[in-house]
Amino acid sequence: GHYCLDINVLIIVFTEMRDKLRKWREDNHRNSEQIVDVGEELINEHASKLGDDIWIIYEQVMIAALDCSRDDLAWTCLQELKKQFPGSQRVKRLAGMRLEALEKYEDASKQYDSILQDDPTNTAARKRKISILKAQGKSAEAIRELNEYLEQFVGDQEAWHELSELYINEHDYGKAAFCLEELMMTNPHNHLYCEQYAEVKYTQGGLENLELSRKYFAQALKLNNGNMRALFGLYMSASHIAASPKVNATVKKANVKYAAWATNQINRAYQVTKTNQLPVEELLLRSS
Amino acid sequence: MGEVELSCLAYVKMYLHACLFPRCSVNGLLLSSSPAGGAVCVTDCVPLLHTHLPLAPITQLALTQVDVWCAQTQQRIVGYYQANACVSDSSPTPCALKIADKIAEQCNNAVLLMIDGGKMSPDYRVPPIVMYERKDTRWTLKDKHTIMLRQWEETRDIASQLLDSGDHSLLVDFDSHLDDITRDWTNQKLNAKIAELASPANASSIALPPGGGTVSIVTFTWSSSTARGRQQNINSLSINHILLENSPEWRNNG
């Protein structure tokens, strides 16, 4: 009857919420506001139904809560985890993250140091220490520590990417390119790394770098023909090369063709959407 | 040493841009629909990036596209804004200076505006912005008395309202446009919402070139109070995840 229907709806809502949280965990989404919304309700209303999932949810919600200045919620989650896993390094690291969020960087650092004393290979603690340097604006130190970290943990993709971002912010494009080269080697099908590499090369400037950038924009497009940055990048790099007085006629001709192809693709893409449609020919080649 | 007026529309969108990407540095262009000469009236802005601000290709692309759009809509690029991810430092970065220099080549009283993330708490009483102008070849701090924001309280309230209602997610920057080109970086929808929220008395300062409307100019002098206590941004504290590792399932020994 009517009562039965309500229960079913509740169950559906509950499973939807739980599945959403799982998906966000798996995709490593930083949609913290949403996680707090869904997670807080799940914890408050449906804790008993979650079984062992509850611990990983507490962790996920805690981190999201820190991201949203919800120390009250973060504290609650932390207490539950401390009760269940006393002495756990993983919980200790979460406590450290909370200290970071409260900008108590020295205390946080000490927390991570104590983890590392017990377990010198604890990568999470090391990364948190580097995050602290970043939060404090100590880029040079963060870069140095991250380089040291990568000497030991050379396969850590995310660390390489983080390092490339740090280098870009310091305008050290050569080193950023090196990091992206590592990433492209180990992730040859990832169009984003190709495209970012191309952007860095373009930024470095000079004919050789421009040609490299064009190649990698093209590669990114091969891997994902919907990558608009790569498409525009191809147009821009090819146009610049074609306009350079240093290239011979063959190279010029080839790049004019690439640019024309890109123009065509761009126009086609915008035909469909009709928003922000501007004549591509007017793009670029204003002196940059 | 000229006067600069910042419209409600420009301020609100710029502010919402910073709120929409709280963990990123963001930047954008300041536009004017008034003719050159005299005071600089910033009547609109175009939010540009929230990733890889120092990289050239997308910045160049965006500058060119906005330039073309401005020519079509009788506007000019008169300045540049940026909010740094690291809230403890709101000084212009090399890339900010570079882009501002470029703009100054075409517009000799261009302004460089930095949003001070540390002063963006919900109960802020002064606009969290710092403005620079070009003197000789250097960007120097502008005299606060030459910066004007009409109806500041109303502007601030409009920004808060849009944040509360979640409408700030309507804002499209150039980066977002490239992720999905059906999204409009001129933000017509959001502009309409902002105009809606503004009082009739303020409407003329939003939609139209100056010279129309009789809104009185309120010169706003910043107070020198700095944020006390814990810095609460609209968004969050500066917890910099470098990476959220894929968390293995919990076991009894954690």
Answer yes or no: do A159 and B57 touch at CB < 8 A.
no
Answer yes or no: do A97 and B239 touch at CB < 8 A.
yes
User: What pLDDT does residue B37 have?
Assistant: 81
User: What pLDDT does residue B215 have?
Assistant: 25
Answer yes or no: do B178 and A229 touch at CB < 8 A.
yes
**Confidence class of residue A5 from pLDDT cuts 50, 70 and 90?**
low
Report the distance separating Cα B31 and Cα B107, nearest Å.
11
User: What pLDDT does residue A3 have?
Assistant: 54
**Are B189 and B170 spatial neighbours (Cβ–Cβ below 8 Å)?**
yes
User: What pLDDT does residue A2 have?
Assistant: 52
Decide if B56 touches A, using CB distance below 8 A: yes
Answer yes or no: do B65 and A66 touch at CB < 8 A.
no
Smallest Cβ–Cβ distance between A162 and the set B55, B237, B243 belongs to: B243
Residue A136: pLDDT over 90:
no
% of chain A residues with pLDDT over 70:
91
Report the distance separating Cα A213 and Cα A234, nearest Å.
8
Report the distance separating Cα A146 and Cα A135, nearest Å.
14
* pLDDT, tens digit (0-9, with 9 covering 90-100), for B101-153: 999 999 989 999 999 988 887 667 788 999 999 998 899 998 887 888 888 88
- B174, part of any domain: yes
Interface test with B, best of A115, A173, A229, A274 (most B CBs within 10 A): A229
Residues lower than pLDDT 70 in chain B:
1, 122-123, 199-254
- B206, part of any domain: no
Q: Which residues, numbered 81 to 120 in chain A, qualify as contacts with chain B under a Cβ-Cβ cut-off of 8 Å?
A: 85, 87-91, 97, 100-103
Answer yes or no: do B254 and A85 touch at CB < 8 A.
yes
How many of the other CB atoms lie within 10 Å of CB of B109?
18
* Residue written as token pair 């804790």: A47
Decide if A254 touches B, using CB distance below 8 A: no
Interface test with B, best of A35, A169, A179 (most B CBs within 10 A): A169
Residue B31 belongs to domain with CATH number: 3.40.140.10
| AA identity, residue B41 | C
pTM: 0.84
Answer yes or no: do A127 and B185 touch at CB < 8 A.
no
% of chain A residues with pLDDT over 90:
72
Find chain A residues with C-beta within 8 A of B247's C-beta.
25, 56, 59-60
Decide if A130 touches B, using CB distance below 8 A: yes
Report the distance separating Cα B16 and Cα B165, nearest Å.
12
Torsions phi, psi for B228 (to 5 deg): -95, 160
The ipTM (two decimal places) reads: 0.86
Name residue B27's beta-bridge partners: B49, B82
CA distance B224 to chain A (A): 24
Range with the poorest average pLDDT among A1-5, A63-67, A196-200, B61-65: A1-5
**If residue B40 lies in a helix (H) or strand (E), which one and from where to where?**
strand B40-42
Residue A114: pLDDT over 70:
yes
CA distances from B147 to A201, B30, B128, B212 (A): 40, 14, 13, 20
Answer yes or no: do A69 and B249 touch at CB < 8 A.
no
- B250, part of any domain: no
- B152, part of any domain: yes
Percent helix, strand, coil in chain B (nearest 5)? 35, 20, 45
Find chain A residues with C-beta within 8 A of B117's C-beta.
none
DSSP tally for chain B: helices H, then strands E: 7, 9
Find chain A residues with C-beta within 8 A of B67's C-beta.
286
Average pLDDT of chain A, as a whole number:
90
Report the distance separating Cα B136 and Cα A165, nearest Å.
33
Find chain A residues with C-beta within 8 A of B232's C-beta.
69
Decide if B250 touches A, using CB distance below 8 A: yes
Answer yes or no: do A162 and B54 touch at CB < 8 A.
no
Find chain B residues with C-beta within 8 A of A101's C-beta.
236-237, 239
- B245, part of any domain: no
- B71, part of any domain: yes
User: What pLDDT does residue B108 have?
Assistant: 86
Report the distance separating Cα A93 and Cα B121, nearest Å.
28
Decide if A52 touches B, using CB distance below 8 A: yes
Q: Which among A131, A43, A270 is positioned nearest to B86, based on CA atoms?
A: A131
- B230, part of any domain: no
Smallest Cβ–Cβ distance between B64 and the set A159, A276, A284 belongs to: A284
| AA identity, residue B167 | D
Q: How many separate domains does chain B show?
A: 1
User: What pLDDT does residue B206 have?
Assistant: 42
* pLDDT, tens digit (0-9, with 9 covering 90-100), for A235-287: 999 999 999 999 999 999 999 999 999 999 998 898 877 667 665 556 644 43
Domain that residue B160 falls in: 4-198
**Are B88 and A105 spatial neighbours (Cβ–Cβ below 8 Å)?**
no
User: What pLDDT does residue B239 have?
Assistant: 36
Report the distance separating Cα A30 and Cα A270, nearest Å.
30
Report the distance separating Cα A206 and Cα B144, nearest Å.
42
* pLDDT, tens digit (0-9, with 9 covering 90-100), for A7-53: 777 777 888 899 999 999 888 777 888 899 999 999 998 888 888 88
User: What pLDDT does residue B22 have?
Assistant: 82
* pLDDT, tens digit (0-9, with 9 covering 90-100), for A190-200: 999 999 999 99
Q: Which residues lie closer than 8 Å to A117 by C-beta, 6 or more apart? A: none
CA distance A205 to chain B (A): 9
- B219, part of any domain: no
CA distance B216 to chain A (A): 35
Q: Which among A168, A205, A161, A219 is positioned nearest to A186, based on CA atoms?
A: A161
Answer yes or no: do A233 and B57 touch at CB < 8 A.
yes
Q: Which residues, numbered 11 to 40 in chain B, qualify as contacts with chain A under a Cβ-Cβ cut-off of 8 Å?
A: 23
User: What pLDDT does residue A103 have?
Assistant: 86
Q: Which among A16, A93, A73 is positioned nearest to A49, based on CA atoms?
A: A16
Q: Which residues lie closer than 8 Å to B207 by C-beta, 6 or more apart? A: B9, B195
Q: Which chain A residue has the Cα nearest residue B99?
A: A288
Answer yes or no: do B240 and A233 touch at CB < 8 A.
no
Answer yes or no: do A202 and B69 touch at CB < 8 A.
no
User: What pLDDT does residue A14 have?
Assistant: 85
User: What pLDDT does residue B228 have?
Assistant: 19
